Structure 1
Amino acid sequence: MSAPERIPAGRLSATEPAAEPAAPEGATGLSDVFLAEGELTVRGQIAEASNAVLYCTVTHEGRTAACVYKPVAGERPLWDFPDGTLAQREVAAYEISRACGWDLIPTTVLRDGPYGTGMVQEWIAAPDGEGADDAGDEIPELLALVEDEEPGPGWKAVGFAQTGAGRTALLVHADDPRLRRLAVLDAVINNGDRKGGHLLPAPGGRFFAIDHGVTFNAEDKLRTLLWGWAGEPLTDEALEVLRGLQKALADAAPLAARLAELITDAEIEALRERVAGLLRTGRHPEPGGDWPPIPWPPV
């Protein structure tokens, strides 16, 4: 088979996305095998993405589901990450999420595709309509801008933001246990780009987190909108999960072997140190002074 053509990010010719395909039973939870072995068909491109992001369908054993395909050939080089490694980092983030038992990241695999090796991830379709439907698919409200000086009940303050015309508003996020788990996960994987637009509502009141290409750097690069718990004690649940993750990252453990296929030895060691540090302090991390703590743009 001939080598795939290298794709300049944002310049891939593609058709318009097809109608949403029928998902297999248990969608919002496709298996790794389904995504890795199914027939991948490109349907269109998500044009606003900074790298090449392709909307696809994958068909396996007579069933079809939607997915996202990010070919390595469409990645733009970054000054602080090795070229051609973002897809592997997305898969590594999924492996850590799964090991934690929180399943906050959609099923994600590394596989060959029409434009070469890339990350393939389950497509998360938002619930229809607003609010809740008859099945109880409430759309969780996770982020907001408020004019008050303090967050209201059920919210955590991130900081003040310029909203135009010289006005400021308080950026807040929900004081939600699922979001708090994500804040811990981001600290573990050293997520350098946790924006509001990376949180996708899903049926059943769930949400998923996407876009984890700039993770696992050996240097501290945590940038997130989820600073509301900064300095607060970790929950008992989080501490238990971190203790399990520490064991799973031991040299001979299957998770460590899997990560060695995706990120460098130095990055794995830094991952272990972050987990150990969270267990040692027992607290959510606080912003450091050497790196902007909030990504731009924040959404």
Structure 2
Amino acid sequence: MPAPERIPPGRVSSVDLLAKGELTVRGRVREASNAVLYCSVSYEGEQAHCVYKPVAGERPLWDFPDGTLAQREVAAYELSEATGWGLVPPTVLRDGPYGQGMVQLWIEADPSESLLALVEDEEPGEGWKAVGFAEVGEGRTALLVHADDVRLRRLAVLDAVINNGDRKGGHLLPTADGNLYAIDHGVTFNVDDKLRTLLWGWAGEPLPADASRTLTELAATLTEGAPLATRLAELLTSAEVEALRGRVGVLLGAGVHPLPSGEWPAIPWPPV
């Protein structure tokens, strides 16, 4: 696929461009389990590339209501924006060539930046956090590690808040300008504990001060009647919004990164 064009500076925001622009399908991302279409979008002289995931192309899941994955992707973006961390690309819910779906700004990752690695040592090196040992063939194992990076640490907190059931390595998109974006948030906001992630390196460690402040501010924005809570009520069930409030409260009360529950596989498969 060609590299996406950056949105030039102008009066049209990324969200307006995605929500109001004309979508043209350019191709399909074949590796995805659901229908994921690569598109261009144009509006008032500005253009960019984006991903369009129509609800009609979602595969049913036993533990999520049918036809709700697109809404969950948008809810994850709304939560990310509320934290001020900007970890999820601009995402909207709109009609497209194949019906209603999620439309998200395409992010071009910097291939030179590595956030995950397999090492033969039993302990992670400086600047890395251990996830666990993995089989690498011929009876050998290697230690899976992720970078000890403030951006990843914030993402680990966000994933705990949204109850992300599928944080894989391929969902991490570092960019050449130093930002980190995370994608694929369809299996989030379940009322049951579904947290599965590769970012367990900080499990049990105290939350950073900035994360605790952000969670405190987030709790206030989730009170009933607040704008964020009202917006999320359009995307999630009332039980899911209440469970979200509960997770924020539990994180604040514990003051530490969560540990695997032991009742659900801790790491998604395949991990990348």
TM-score higher than 0.5: yes
CA contact (8 A) 1:23 1:63 kept: no
Task: Please list, as runs of the form range in 1=range in 2, the aligned pairs for 1:102-181 lying within 5 A after superposition.
Answer: 102-127=85-110, 131=112, 139=113, 141-181=114-154
Which amino acid in the other structure matches residue 180 of structure 2?
F
CA distance in 2, matches of 1:164, 1:26: 49
Identity %: 71
TM-score (norm 1): 0.88
Task: Please list, as runs of the form range in 1=range in 2, the aligned pairs for 1:192-211 lying within 5 A after superposition.
Answer: 192-211=165-184
CA distance in 1, matches of 2:171, 2:88: 10
CA contact (8 A) 2:17 2:46 kept: no
CA displacement, residues 169-192 of structure 1 (integer Å, 9 cap, x when unaligned): 000001111100000000000000
CA distance in 2, matches of 1:42, 1:31: 18
> In the alignment, which residue of structure 1 is the partner of 2:261?
288
CA distance in 2, matches of 1:227, 1:294: 9
CA contact (8 A) 2:128 2:145 kept: yes
CA displacement, residues 254-281 of structure 1 (integer Å, 9 cap, x when unaligned): 0000000001000000000000000001
> In the alignment, which residue of structure 1 is the partner of 2:205?
232
Task: Please list, as runs of the form range in 1=range in 2, the aligned pairs for 1:59-98 lying within 5 A after superposition.
Answer: 59-98=42-81
Q: 1:197 to 1:26 in 2, by over 3 A?
A: farther
Which amino acid in the other structure matches residue 170 of structure 1?
L
CA distance in 2, matches of 1:67, 1:233: 37
Matched, 1:191 2:191: no
Aligned residues: 271
Q: 1:262 to 1:196 in 2, by over 3 A?
A: same
CA distance in 2, matches of 1:162, 1:191: 24
Which amino acid in the other structure matches residue 76 of structure 2?
A
CA displacement, residues 205-263 of structure 1 (integer Å, 9 cap, x when unaligned): 22210000000000000000000000000000000000000000000100000000001
| DSSP 3-state at the match of 2:216 | helix
| DSSP 3-state at the match of 1:257 | helix
Matched, 1:22 2:22: no
CA contact (8 A) 1:37 1:60 kept: yes
Which amino acid in the other structure matches residue 162 of structure 2?
I
CA distance in 1, matches of 2:83, 2:177: 21
CA distance in 1, matches of 2:219, 2:266: 26
> In the alignment, which residue of structure 1 is the partner of 2:35?
52
Instruction: Give unmatched runs, 5+ long, in structure 1.
Output: 1-16, 132-138
What RMSD in Å do the two structures reach over aligned CA positions? 1.4
Shift of 1:21: 4.8
| DSSP 3-state at the match of 1:203 | coil
| DSSP 3-state at the match of 2:96 | coil
CA displacement, residues 121-145 of structure 1 (integer Å, 9 cap, x when unaligned): 0000124xx64xxxxxxx3x21100
TM-score (norm 2): 0.97
CA distance in 1, matches of 2:4, 2:162: 32
| DSSP 3-state at the match of 1:205 | coil
| DSSP 3-state at the match of 1:117 | strand
CA distance in 1, matches of 2:29, 2:203: 34
CA distance in 2, matches of 1:245, 1:237: 12
Instruction: Give unmatched runs, 5+ long, in structure 2.
Output: none
